[in-house]
Amino acid sequence: MKKLVIFCVAVVIGAGSLYANGQKAKTEAGSEQSRLRISKQYGVNYLPLIVLEGQKLIEKNAKEAGLGDITVEWVTFGGGATANDALLSGSVDLISGGIAPFVRLWDKTNGNVKSLGTLDQSPLILNTSNPAVYKLADLTEKDKIAVPSVKVSIQALVLQVAAAKEFGKDNYDKIDHLTVALSHPDALVALTSGKSEITAHFTNEPYASLEQQTSGIHFVFDSYGVFGARHSTNLVSTTADFYNNNPKLSAVILKSLNEADAWIAANKREAARLYLEVTKSNEPLELVLQIISRDEITYTTKPLNVTFFSDFLYDTGAISRKPVQDELFFPIALDTK
């Protein structure tokens, strides 16, 4: 009996070694994963990803690159904090979202999470239903500002930058207690209904334009005005393990994003229609078309002024290291510059 047990243990150990060796050989042979899980969020900022999903560009380009059939699964999150947790837990392979939560994750993982490329340059917009509010100093304790994630989201960070400019650097978090975590669709409903505690929403498009079409809601400021220049707003990021284990697939993803950007630029109406089709949104086609045709919105994988966000996070002690822009991106992303 003892010999039988020893034999069985040896078989299990041997099988485990064979499996490990097989996996190692498989990796060394260049085999890459065939299932890809990607997250996106709400709004036209994520239009390049919606084009990838609707036109199955990753699947097409993966096959052309000799990677065979790739299964791409898409999930939508309401904010950057949720996306970060999903990536760290292994629930998804790539996440997309605002630069602020990404930079926090880069710092938290000691640079293990980096970006494959940006998605867009677009302003973030603060709207309010309070007729007395035209700057942050006009806010009262009765006002509540909806953001995707309290303190973590890119909108929450821009509010801090605006507060630092208006109240002084030491008071950058002066209005943090007025923020409430809500997804953009939920915040739109809350603000426009007039029946909620929400009196302001720091958002992106098309939600900003939809809110401004509602009587009693007006524009306060946008992120381009706060920083005094255009900036990248959202990006796609992943772990170093994924990037190193899937170099061809990583290249396919970046190629697909660039292909989507070029298609959007040349086919604005079709892109607006695809946005509505994939997201199952009910905004007017002409409104979406008008929004994505604006000069202030550009879809590109090339980063612009990313350090606006990382510098502020470092200066306020939210991150431990102050990166230069290139440190935040994988080498393949920098080749597009």
Per-residue pLDDT reduced to its tens digit, 87-138: 999 999 999 999 999 999 999 999 999 999 999 999 999 999 999 999 999 9
Question: Between β-strands 125-128 and 200-203, what pairing exists: parallel, antiparallel or unpaired?
Answer: antiparallel
**Could you give the CA distance from residue 262 to residue 92 in angstroms, rounded to a whole number?**
26
User: Which range among 7-16, 217-226, 276-285 shows the weakest confidence by mean pLDDT?
Assistant: 7-16
When pLDDT is averaged across residues 180-189 and rounded to a whole number, the result is 96
Q: Tell me the CA distances in angstroms from 49 to 154, 169, 301, 308, one per residue in order.
A: 19, 36, 12, 24
> Helix (H, G, I), strand (E, B), or coil: what is residue 148?
coil
> Mean per-residue pLDDT for 303-313?
97
Which pLDDT score, from 0 to 100, does residue 19 have?
A: 29
Is the pLDDT score of 258 beyond 50?
yes
pLDDT digits (tens, 9 = 90+) for 67-92: 999 999 999 988 888 899 999 999 99
Best CATH choice for the domain 32-121+239-334 from the list 3.40.50.300, 3.40.190.10, 3.30.479.10, 3.50.50.60: 3.40.190.10
Superfamily of domain 125-227: Periplasmic binding protein-like II (3.40.190.10)
What pLDDT does 22 receive?
33
How much of the chain, in percent, has pLDDT values that exceed 90?
87
Both tokens assigned to 244: 């190193």
Q: What percent of the chain has pLDDT over 70?
A: 91
DSSP type of residue 76: E
What are the structural domain ranges in the chain?
32-121+239-334, 125-227
125-227 matches 32-121+239-334 in CATH topology: yes
